């Protein structure tokens, strides 16, 4: 089953589709989902597919479990900021605008060549026509938008922002040739000045940053925002609650995707347990490729390296290893994406290599084989190019076998008592 570049994992994708529908209906806020499977089975691809399907209005934040430890803030603060980035606030406000078709733009340049520009703008609707005086700022805005007679525009009275909606249908025959991107709209009806409802969607984290820094909105572009005081967040939450009661705003629960969730420690897991009970919590999506392993920060083992009490809260989606046919389809799509011509025999050999080694190793070989093909002045990647790359680059199994054979010649390597390779240094300390 292939759809929009995704191959296989039918059951996992159907389960993700159900979750997606529930998210869109706003019925799953504060819930969590775990995508678990062996490496290279498309866990991150499923999460990114969910993000694309949700659209730009639904916040989607992506974190890596290991990323939490590299930030210059506490782990719980990093998770809190991730949570609040994933919760949107849709704010509704009414604003006054001027909307009409441009009849004429007249700009008077100073005789001296310097000084403020002045001008007049004539706008009309189907019922009225008015002339407005223009200052330097409005003239620059009109020139920036390349507004000319016959365009239908809107002007925000509060900010002075000018938006061009398109060309009026009455001017459709002014030119013999029009670009394919030219949009034609009807001349507005009624009054020139109107009240219009404008909707802005911002995240709680953006509101936190704006209110916690002296530079306000510009703080969003300053990079690392540092730790934010809890008192500021409480004030923001209180204000948002007031707006919700007044009908001025609504909460848009988004998605927080944490890849490599097994890298989190017991402190982070305890925080997530409590945070999921918050009335304003996003949908949590975890991904891991670990089996039963030690929970970081403890001496205990757990499924996927996670504590049982958190796992009990999760809906778990399992991804399965790809079949040979699915691997062939994935490699074919990847060749098309990388614009690599490959023969059927070469693709069959590449699929066989993917089955015996890993899909990721086979994907890496596509570009390398293409370069080998170019070097011999070939037009299609052939079996000999794949064999050449296979001899040049080792996969994990062959590399491990090489280490086992020559481990005594490497620095700081030893064979454990159980006969398995263990990597580390006698000089290293835990």
What is the pLDDT tens value at each position of the chain, 430 positions in all?
Answer: 556 667 878 888 888 888 888 777 766 656 788 999 988 888 888 888 888 887 777 888 899 988 888 877 888 888 999 999 988 888 887 788 888 888 888 888 776 666 677 888 899 888 888 888 888 888 888 888 888 888 888 888 877 888 888 888 877 666 555 555 677 888 888 888 888 777 788 888 888 888 876 555 444 444 556 788 888 888 988 998 888 888 888 888 888 999 999 999 999 999 998 888 887 788 889 999 999 999 999 999 999 999 999 999 888 999 988 889 989 999 999 999 899 999 999 999 999 999 999 989 999 999 999 999 999 898 899 999 999 999 999 999 999 898 888 888 877 766 654 555 444 434 333 3
Q: Which two tokens stand for residue 145?
A: 């938008």
Distance CA 427, CA 238 (A): 55
Closest CA to 293 of 258, 262, 261: 262
Complete edge-to-edge strand list for the sheet that includes strand 283-288: 60-64, 255-259, 283-288, 32-36, 314-318
Contact 47, 13 (CB under 8 A): no
Could you count the other beta carbons within 10 Å of the beta carbon of residue 203?
20
Phi/psi at 148 (nearest 5 deg)?
-140, 170
Q: Give the ranges where 263-314 is alpha helix by DSSP (H).
A: 266-275, 308-311
Closest CA to 225 of 205, 240, 239: 205
pLDDT of residue 414: 62
Contact 34, 272 (CB under 8 A): no
Beta strand segments in 204-242, E: none
What lies within 8 Å, CB to CB, of 295 at 6+ separation is: 265, 266, 269, 301, 302, 305, 306, 307
pLDDT of residue 253: 81
Secondary structure of residue 6 in the 3-state scheme? strand
């Amino acid at each position: 089953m292939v759809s929009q570049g995704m191959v296989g994992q039918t059951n996992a994708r159907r389960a993700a589709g159900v979750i997606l529908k529930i998210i869109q209906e706003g019925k799953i806020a504060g819930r969590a989902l775990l995508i678990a499977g062996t490496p290279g089975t498309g866990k991150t691809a499923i999460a990114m597919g969910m993000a694309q399907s949700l659209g730009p209005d639904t916040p989607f934040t992506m974190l890596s479990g290991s990323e939490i430890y590299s930030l210059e803030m506490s782990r719980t603060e990093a998770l809190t900021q991730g949570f609040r980035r994933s919760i949107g606030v849709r704010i509704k406000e009414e604003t006054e605008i001027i909307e009409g078709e441009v009849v004429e733009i007249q700009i008077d340049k100073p005789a001296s060549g310097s000084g403020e520009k002045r001008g007049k703008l004539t706008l009309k609707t189907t019922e009225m026509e008015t002339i407005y005086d223009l200052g330097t700022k409005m003239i620059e805005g009109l020139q920036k938008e390349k507004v000319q007679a016959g365009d239908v525009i809107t002007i925000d009275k509060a900010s002075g922002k000018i938006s061009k909606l398109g060309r009026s249908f009455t001017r459709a025959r002014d030119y013999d040739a029009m670009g394919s991107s030219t949009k034609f709209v009807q001349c507005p009806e009624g009054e020139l000045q109107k009240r219009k409802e404008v909707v802005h969607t911002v995240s709680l984290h953006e509101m936190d940053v704006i209110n916690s820094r002296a530079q306000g909105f510009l703080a969003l572009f300053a990079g690392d925002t540092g730790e934010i005081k809890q008192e500021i967040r409480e004030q923001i939450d209180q204000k948002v609650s007031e707006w919700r009661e007044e009908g001025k705003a609504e909460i848009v629960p988004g998605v927080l995707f944490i890849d490599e969730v097994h890298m989190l420690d017991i402190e982070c897991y305890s925080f997530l347990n409590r945070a999921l009970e918050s009335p304003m919590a996003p949908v949590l999506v975890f991904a891991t490729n670990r089996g039963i392993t030690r929970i970081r920060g403890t001496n205990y083992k757990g499924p996927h390296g996670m504590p049982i009490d958190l796992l009990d809260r999760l809906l778990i989606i399992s991804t399965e290893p790809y079949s040979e046919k699915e691997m062939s389809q994935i490699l074919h799509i990847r060749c098309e994406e990388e614009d690599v011509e490959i023969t059927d025999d070469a693709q069959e050999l590449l699929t066989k290599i993917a089955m015996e080694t890993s899909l990721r190793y086979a994907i890496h070989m596509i570009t390398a084989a293409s370069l080998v093909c170019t070097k011999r002045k070939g037009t299609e990647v052939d079996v000999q190019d794949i064999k050449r790359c296979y001899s040049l680059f080792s996969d994990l199994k062959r590399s491990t076998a090489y280490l086992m054979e020559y481990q005594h010649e490497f620095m700081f390597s030893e064979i454990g008592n159980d006969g398995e390779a263990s990597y580390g240094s006698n000089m290293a300390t835990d």
